[in-house]
A and B are shown apart, each in its own frame.
Chain A
Amino acid sequence: MASARRSLNVVGKPLPRVDAWGKATGRTRYADDLSLPRMLYGRLLLSTQPHALIKRIDVSRALELEGVVAVITGRDVPVRYGIMPVGQDETALAVDKVRYAGEPVAAVAALDEDTAEEALSLIEVEYEPLRPIMSIEEALRLPEPRIHDYVPAGNIHRLASLEFGDVAQGFAEADYVREDLFFFQGNTHLPMEQHSALAYWDPAEGKLTLWSSTQTPHYVQRALAKALELPENRVRVIATPVGGGFGGKSDPFHHEICAAKLSMLTGRPVKITLTREEVFYAHRGRHPELMWVRTGVKRDGRITAMEFQAFLDGGAYSSYGPATTYYAGTFQTITYRIPHYRFQAVRVFTNKPPCGPKRGHGTPQPRYALEVHLDKLAHDLGLDPVELRLRNLTGPNEVTVNWLHITSNGLRQCIERIVEASGWREKRGRLPYGRGIGFAVSAYMCGAGLPIYYNDMPHSEVQVKVDRSGNVTAYSMAIDIGQGSDTVIATVVAEVLGLYPEDIRLVTADTDLTPIDLGSYSSRVTMMVGNAAYEAAMKARQLIFRAAARELGVPVRRLEARDRTVFDRRDPSRALPFAEAARLAEARFGLISTIGSYRPPQRLGTYKGSGVGPSPAYSYSACAVEVQCDPETGEVKVEKVWLAHDIGRPINPILVEGQIEGSVYMALGEVLMEEQAFRKGQHRAPSMLDYKSPTIKEMPPVVSILVETDEPRGPFGAKEVGQGPLLCVIPAVANAVYDALGVRIDETPITPEKVLKALDEKAKGGPGRVGPERKPDFAFREPTRVERPPGWPHYRPHEEG
């Protein structure tokens, strides 16, 4: 790929985002900003029960209300759908049964919002309550009542059980073994923009158009087609600029299908915007997760074996859960060489809003457990926690014990930079009581190697069109959710063609007009769309250079494009303006319209479960956090965060820093404050006032360090940054609290109450720990034994051509 860094013009420069001006002037149109003539307003009626049979729904009084145009219930939209082929367990409105309080049971379309709201109060629903299942322990203990009957047994949704190498042998080689239990509380994305969708059914064309705040227009198109029984090519989904996603807008949602169905029934456009309370129920956020980890080490700290078990609370539906289940155990191995590794996980159904992918999808929980566990191991061994990690690091060009192919790997540089910048060696264990420093590392993928549904087509395609005005347009289904995908596409195309990002027009996220991109999830866009954009732009450049070469009388290989000019590198006075070169190219070749397609490399693993984890490349992060804790109040104040991230190469350093700072912010919320908690079957706090999240006042300074490793598979050497930097911050805070106070808070969030409880226990001679006491009594099936890569860790795969 384009790793030749000779004189890059716009890549790597701190230029403003291409969408900054629209956003700074209020002109960017989000979904709820749209309206159409004769538009109706839709609202959803929510279940008041966490688990119940629907005995009767009577909508007649609502229909009689003046201004109500249509009312639908589950019977009107009974076809099941879901984001994953193995998880087709949702309906747009509950049919016969509700599975969480807040689940939509009916939808109304009316002339205005007040009328729609009034109509909801006129719908009568009679429930027959069932016992709600509200925790992992209950779900494992109680096979009845069953939340779903499509799974083989009880309330167990998914299982994973794998062993790489021979764990028994690995533990036999250990000088020391330690085990720990952790609990990671569920939390939610809390995007500032509520989900919103506007649907328009054109009966003449037999075509549905949906504008929606979604991260995955392609998957929404498929789900709409299925749920509404329409051919896929009669459904057009246009993703509007997403006002915050973080994974929370990656599923097809009830309101999207209901808006579409109501439009089909009424022949009028219908818009549904969720209320803030409904956003909490839409959820798909972080799984609450109970984790047990056991590691064997040599005296010098080298790991000989590891066992990791995870118990995931999935909420009421599948969502991305089958993947999340594997993510509980997949990425431990990309930071550390684990010679023998056993991983087992179970995801249960509970009567809560469905959990799914939140920034870091299923990996912040195990990373938290692993990094705190290793911190404890280091203390047991009398080793510096940094030193313990350095003795176990993976390196570049390595295949992990579970067959993940690491290409570039800047973890060691990240650690060295953090140790130096934070003053780790001077501070650890030497700060006054109440003050502490903590350390952790992490890694993440640059795009899921497999699509959500099996197919052998490209994951990303980009089309570049150059017209005779010199205008360049890039077409891509990628949707900018704030991460900066528009800027990445424009920058890559501009670099190749010698233009500036603002010269590139973008047509994005429209399933009718743009070639495929699977969506803004799994940190895949820079890698996959970036590569497709690079290829398409290179092909356009080739045509333009050929035409320009003939005009200038110089060989193509001597041409260069820069500053909107095509010129002879040897004699830059022989030059053409880009627009002139484009006209010559069109005259010679016809329409200059080129394409690029990206498909990730084949995965190396062939075992069942090997589809989760492979990625073209992995990003690495290391972090130190300094905290000030008040032993009187239990309050933990984060004073400063140092975060080094192996970005490969930054396409735009401002965007990279922004993702690091935003990741740190979100991680601090998760580790110290945020919880999606329930009481008596109901969400405890479905409002922003009660769901505590950090404000500008709590945000500490962040020192961002970019480590460059020039990823051979990345566009211009780039890797992801949207999710990876979040992961290490959470355990680093927990480790810092230990350094400050000598207590271990082994469950999130680390609240003042828990800190005080641990201090109190320690004062009474206890270990000074708050966290889960025992793991559930659950017998995992025998793990599937998977052979390690031959010669591990020195196995080298055949490089693709």
Chain B
Amino acid sequence: MAADLTGRSNTVAEATTKAPVRLLVNGQPYELLVPVHRTLLETLREDLQLTGTKHGCEVGECGMCTVLLDGEPVLSCLTLTVEVEGRTVTTVEGLERGGELHPLQKAFAQMGATQCGYCTPAMLLTAKSLLDRSPSPSEDEIREALSGVLCRCTGYIKIIAAVEMAARQMGAPDSVA
């Protein structure tokens, strides 16, 4: 049983070596002291209470925990918090801008791309990353980009349609009144 610096016997988690981390989450700066083995998923959900980020396996198989790290999708369950020192994290909570939903969020709602909704945050963030680098992707590009996120409800069809719809709207600013 390890002990911390005060010599007090401690739980397994409390006894782990901790490290300071600075990160920017959804535009908000944080300075945290986290156990070195703590994942970004745990930090987001438990330390920052950003429970919009989901988990389905915690071993990198399902894609539920996808967040954007400097704009690129990563599996937060396989990312250690100490690794993201000084970097920018975007979660589903950070998609809204000034109270306005992201076009992808509107499209997912309008097209019926959410059913149980559990994969939706990961789908939205992965799709955002795609549209940021490829504003009018082909259906194959959409399939390729989203292939790491599993969904058991929708059969993916309305998810693809929603991404296409959002791409059209983002490419035609006139129609977004």
Q: Are B58 and A275 in contact (CB under 8 A)?
A: yes
Q: Are A276 and B117 in contact (CB under 8 A)?
A: no
Judge whether A149 is part of the interface by a CB distance below 8 angstroms: no
CA distance A245 to B118 in the complex (A): 11
Judge whether A514 is part of the interface by a CB distance below 8 angstroms: no
Judge whether B121 is part of the interface by a CB distance below 8 angstroms: yes
The residue that B150 contacts in the complex, of A32, A113, A192, with Cβ under 8 A, is: A192
Q: A26-B92, A658-B153 are in contact. Are A115 and B143 (CB under 8 A)?
A: no
The residue that A665 contacts in the complex, of B56, B101, B118, B155, with Cβ under 8 A, is: B155
Q: A695-B150, A702-B157 are in contact. Are A192 and B11 (CB under 8 A)?
A: no
Q: For A16, what are the chain B residues with a Cβ–Cβ distance below 8 Å?
A: 109-110, 112
Chain A interface, DSSP helix/strand/loop, else mixed: loop
CB-contacts of B97-149 with A (<8 A): 101, 105-106, 108-112, 114-121, 124, 143-144, 146-147, 149
Which of B47-55, B78-86, B169-177 is found at the contact surface with chain A? B47-55
CA distance A695 to B142 in the complex (A): 12
Judge whether A503 is part of the interface by a CB distance below 8 angstroms: no
Q: Closest approach, in angstroms, between the C-beta of A490 and any C-beta of chain B?
A: 14
CA distance A246 to B154 in the complex (A): 12
Q: Closest approach, in angstroms, between the C-beta of B89 and any C-beta of chain A?
A: 14
Per-residue CB contact flags for chain A residues 227-249 toward chain B (1 = under 8 Å, else 0) read 00000000000000111111000
Q: Are B93 and A661 in contact (CB under 8 A)?
A: no
Q: For A29, what are the chain B residues with a Cβ–Cβ distance below 8 Å?
A: 51
Closest to B46 in A: A35
Judge whether B17 is part of the interface by a CB distance below 8 angstroms: no
Judge whether A225 is part of the interface by a CB distance below 8 angstroms: no
Q: Are B12 and A687 in contact (CB under 8 A)?
A: no
CB-contacts of B33-68 with A (<8 A): 45, 51-59, 61-62, 64
Q: Closest approach, in angstroms, between the C-beta of B92 and any C-beta of chain A?
A: 3
Closest to A19 in B: B117
The residue that A25 contacts in the complex, of B1, B105, B160, with Cβ under 8 A, is: B105
Closest to B60 in A: A689
Q: A26-B121, A66-B10 are in contact. Are A658 and B54 (CB under 8 A)?
A: no
CA distance A242 to B121 in the complex (A): 15
Q: For B110, what are the chain A residues with a Cβ–Cβ distance below 8 Å?
A: 16, 20
Q: For A654, what are the chain B residues with a Cβ–Cβ distance below 8 Å?
A: 111-112, 158
Q: Closest approach, in angstroms, between the C-beta of A699 and any C-beta of chain B?
A: 5
The residue that B118 contacts in the complex, of A20, A193, A695, with Cβ under 8 A, is: A193
Q: For B154, what are the chain A residues with a Cβ–Cβ distance below 8 Å?
A: 658, 661-662, 665
Q: Are A192 and B62 in contact (CB under 8 A)?
A: yes
Q: Are A66 and B1 in contact (CB under 8 A)?
A: yes
Q: For B51, what are the chain A residues with a Cβ–Cβ distance below 8 Å?
A: 26, 29, 33
CA distance A666 to B155 in the complex (A): 8
Judge whether A435 is part of the interface by a CB distance below 8 angstroms: no
Judge whether A657 is part of the interface by a CB distance below 8 angstroms: yes
The residue that B116 contacts in the complex, of A111, A482, A693, A695, with Cβ under 8 A, is: A482
Judge whether A78 is part of the interface by a CB distance below 8 angstroms: no
CA distance A246 to B115 in the complex (A): 12
A interface size (C-beta, 8 A): 66
Judge whether A483 is part of the interface by a CB distance below 8 angstroms: yes
Q: A66-B1, A192-B56, A661-B158 are in contact. Are A482 and B117 (CB under 8 A)?
A: yes
Per-residue CB contact flags for chain A residues 460-490 toward chain B (1 = under 8 Å, else 0) read 0000000000000000000001111000000
CA distance A658 to B160 in the complex (A): 13
Q: For A111, what are the chain B residues with a Cβ–Cβ distance below 8 Å?
A: 11, 13
Closest to A64 in B: B1
Q: Closest approach, in angstroms, between the C-beta of A296 and any C-beta of chain B?
A: 38
Q: Closest approach, in angstroms, between the C-beta of B81 and any C-beta of chain A?
A: 15
Q: For B111, what are the chain A residues with a Cβ–Cβ distance below 8 Å?
A: 654
Q: Closest approach, in angstroms, between the C-beta of B4 and any C-beta of chain A?
A: 11
Q: Closest approach, in angstroms, between the C-beta of B5 and any C-beta of chain A?
A: 16
Q: Are B147 and A17 in contact (CB under 8 A)?
A: no
Closest to B157 in A: A661
The residue that B92 contacts in the complex, of A20, A25, A65, with Cβ under 8 A, is: A25
Q: Are B156 and A192 in contact (CB under 8 A)?
A: no
Q: For A484, what are the chain B residues with a Cβ–Cβ distance below 8 Å?
A: 115
Q: Are B56 and A664 in contact (CB under 8 A)?
A: no
Q: Are A658 and B11 in contact (CB under 8 A)?
A: no
Q: For B167, what are the chain A residues with a Cβ–Cβ distance below 8 Å?
A: none
Which residues of A line the B interface, CB within 8 A? 14, 16-17, 19-30, 32-33, 65-67, 110-115, 117-118, 189-194, 241-246, 275-276, 481-484, 654-655, 657-658, 661-666, 687-689, 693, 695-697, 699, 701-702
A-B contact pairs, 22 of them (CB 8 A): A19-B117, A20-B108, A21-B101, A24-B106, A24-B109, A65-B12, A66-B9, A67-B11, A112-B14, A113-B13, A114-B16, A115-B13, A118-B12, A192-B116, A192-B151, A194-B56, A662-B153, A689-B59, A689-B61, A696-B160, A699-B156, A702-B157
Please give 19 more A-B residue pairs, beta carbons under 8 A apart, in addition to A193-B118, A661-B155.
A17-B109, A20-B109, A24-B101, A24-B109, A26-B91, A32-B55, A67-B14, A114-B12, A192-B64, A193-B56, A243-B54, A276-B58, A654-B111, A661-B157, A662-B115, A665-B152, A687-B57, A695-B150, A696-B143
A-B residue pairs, 8 tightest by C-beta: A26-B52, A482-B116, A23-B117, A67-B11, A243-B118, A665-B155, A26-B92, A20-B109
